[in-house]
Amino acid sequence: MSVENIGDSARTLDATSQYAYDAAERKFDADSLASMYASDDNDLFLNEINPGNRVDAVLVFDVPKETSLTKLELHDSPFSGGVTVELS
């Protein structure tokens, strides 16, 4: 995924604050360690992104083989309201 900080201050991107959902609304946590190894740049491990900057990273979820994910819930911190991204 590609993430851009459109705010006016630095934000921390971390895989542990990202979630995926299936059609039954089951919530899956991102696998931080797998995400770190899947991305050459490790951009999802406590990466501070300054305003206007963009990072590309791989986000990994450990889900059952038959699972079809329907949406992602992405956060800039564990305490943010986050944003929902529908998957097609």
Q: What is the pLDDT of residues 25-49, one digit of tens each?
A: 999 999 988 887 887 765 556 678 8
Q: What is the pLDDT of residue 86?
A: 96
67's CB contacts (< 8 A; 6+ apart) are: 22, 28
Q: What angle do CA 51, 34, 82 make, to 5 degrees?
A: 40
How many structural domains compose the chain? 1
Work out the mean pLDDT of the chain and round it to a whole number.
88
Residue 41: domain span: 2-86
Q: From CA 73, how far away is CA 51, in angstroms rounded? A: 21
In the chain, DSSP assigns E strands to 2-4, 11-13, 19-22, 27-29, 47-49, 54-56, 69-74, 83-86
pLDDT at residue 77 tops 80: no
> How would residue 18 be classed by pLDDT, with cut points 50, 70 and 90?
very high
Closest CA to 14 of 60, 63, 48: 48
